[in-house]
Amino acid sequence: MKSWIAFWNILKKDVRNYYLKPPNISWGIIFPLSWTLMQLIRSPDGNILELLPGLIAMSILFGTTSMLAVTITFERSGRSFERLLLAPIHLSTMVLAKIAGTILFGTFNAFVPVIFAALFADLRAVNWGALLLTILLIALTSALTGLLIAVSAEQVFEAQTLANFFRFPMLFLCGLFVPIARLPLLLRPLSYCLPLSYGTDLLKGLLTRQNSLSPALCFGMLLFFAATLFLICRHRIQQKWIL
Partner 1 sequence: MISVTGLTKTYGSVCAVNNISFEVAKGEIFGFLGPNGAGKTSTINIMTGLSRPDAGEIELAGIDVRRQPKKAQAIMGIVPDESNLYNEMDGFDNLCFCAALYGMPKSEREGKARRLLEQFRLDDTGKRPFKAFSKGMRRRLTIAAALIHSPQLLFLDEPTTGIDVESSRQIRDLIRELKRQGTTIFLTTHYIEEAERICDRIAFIARGQIVAAGTLPELMASVSHQHAIRFVTAGSTNTPAAELESQFPGSQVSIQADHSIVMTSKQRIPLLPVMKFLHNIGVEVHEARELTPSLEDVFVKLTGIQSSALTEPERKGSTR
Cβ closest to partner 1, residue 13 vs residue 188: 13
23 binds partner 1 (CB under 8 A): no
Closest distance of CB 236 from partner 1, Å: 15
Which x/- pattern, by CB under 8 A, does the window 178-217 give for partner 1?
----------------------------------------
Q: What are phi and psi of 204, to 5 degrees?
A: -60, -45
DSSP single-letter state for residue 124: T
114 to 133, contacts with partner 1 by CB under 8 A? none
Cβ closest to partner 1, residue 153 vs residue 173: 153
Cβ neighbors of 35 (< 8 A, separation 6 or more) are 55, 58, 59, 113
Measured at the CA of 192, the angle between CA 158 and CA 70, to 5 degrees, comes to 20
Cβ closest to partner 1, residue 94 vs residue 176: 94
Closest distance of CB 13 from partner 1, Å: 6
Q: 21: helix, coil or strand?
A: coil
Cβ closest to partner 1, residue 86 vs residue 186: 86
Cβ neighbors of 158 (< 8 A, separation 6 or more) are 73
154 binds partner 1 (CB under 8 A): no
What angle do the packed helices 128-152 and 48-77 form, to 10 degrees?
Answer: 30
Which x/- pattern, by CB under 8 A, does the window 71-110 give for partner 1?
-------xxx-xxxxxxxxx--------------------
Shortest CA distance to 97 belongs to which of 18, 8, 1?
8
Total Cβ atoms within 10 A of residue 63: 29
**How many CA atoms, within 13 angstroms, populate the side-chain half-sphere of residue 235?**
6
15 binds partner 1 (CB under 8 A): no
- Where do contacts with partner 1 occur on this chain (CB under 8 A)? 1-3, 5-6, 8-10, 13, 17, 78-80, 82-90, 242-243
